[in-house]
């Protein structure tokens, strides 16, 4: 088996995520689960080719509650991801935050957010650079109806529009009618 160079490994690490990895949140933002980051790191670099050092930096109870009266917890975290397979001293640092009614889930979500933020210049960078059209991503049900209406009848529907541009075009079309 041929040993791959750091440049070859990095190229594989940065390949776009597969379509099934992407989802659109209710606010129109494209996202992906942190498991895709871990999977890509393991497949490309191997379990020995990277390591992470997460640290929850704060966990605070909030006065805000959910519909059932349970208080929210807000957690923040930071992480250092060392990537020795890419070269000596190569690492990424990220910070993240998350809010949940369960303290442990808030902390886990903050660490996951920090990992994604640390690697967003490498894994999933096509999303953070705005190169993925939200209309090409499997949308949650509340956006599917909008997506179909936009694609099937509004003259402003152009390939490559961002969701904000699409909403603006939809509003413009509605006002002109």
- 126 and 173 share a domain? no
Question: Where residue 170 falls among pLDDT bands split at 50, 70, 90?
Answer: very low
Domain that holds residue 156: 141-177
Residue 84: DSSP 8-state? G
Which residues, in sequence order, are bridge partners of residue 61?
Answer: 73
Which pLDDT tens digit goes with each residue over 78-119?
999 999 999 999 999 999 999 999 999 999 999 999 999 999
**Count: domains in the chain:** 2
* Cα(97)–Cα(102) distance, integer angstroms: 14
In a domain, 119, yes or no: yes
In a domain, 46, yes or no: yes
- 104 and 27 share a domain? yes
- 77 and 157 share a domain? no
In a domain, 1, yes or no: no
- 37 and 73 share a domain? yes
Q: What's 69's domain CATH number?
A: 3.30.390.80
From the number of C-beta atoms within 10 Å of its C-beta (0-12, 13-18, 19+), residue 160 rates as exposed
Say what percent of the chain tops pLDDT 70.
76
- 106 and 177 share a domain? no
* Cα(127)–Cα(33) distance, integer angstroms: 13
- 103 and 177 share a domain? no
3-state SS track over 118-132: HHCCCCCHHHHCCCC
- 22 and 61 share a domain? yes
């Amino acid at each position: 088996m041929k040993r791959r160079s750091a440049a070859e490994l990095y190229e594989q690490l940065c390949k776009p995520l597969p379509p099934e990895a992407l989802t659109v949140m209710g606010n129109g933002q494209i996202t992906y689960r942190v498991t895709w980051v871990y999977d890509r790191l393991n497949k490309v670099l191997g379990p020995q080719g990277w390591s992470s050092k997460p640290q929850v930096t704060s966990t605070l109870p909030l006065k805000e509650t959910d519909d059932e009266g349970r208080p929210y917890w807000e957690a923040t975290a930071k992480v250092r991801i060392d990537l020795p397979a890419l070269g000596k001293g190569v690492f990424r640092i990220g910070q993240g935050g998350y809010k949940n009614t369960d303290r442990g889930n808030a902390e886990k979500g903050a660490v996951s957010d920090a990992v994604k933020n640390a690697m967003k210049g490498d894994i999933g960078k096509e999303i953070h650079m705005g190169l993925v059209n939200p209309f090409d991503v499997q949308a949650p049900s509340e956006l599917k109806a909008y997506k179909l209406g936009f694609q099937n009848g509004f003259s402003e529907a152009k390939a490559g529009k961002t969701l904000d541009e699409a909403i603006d075009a939809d509003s413009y079309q509605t006002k002109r009618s």
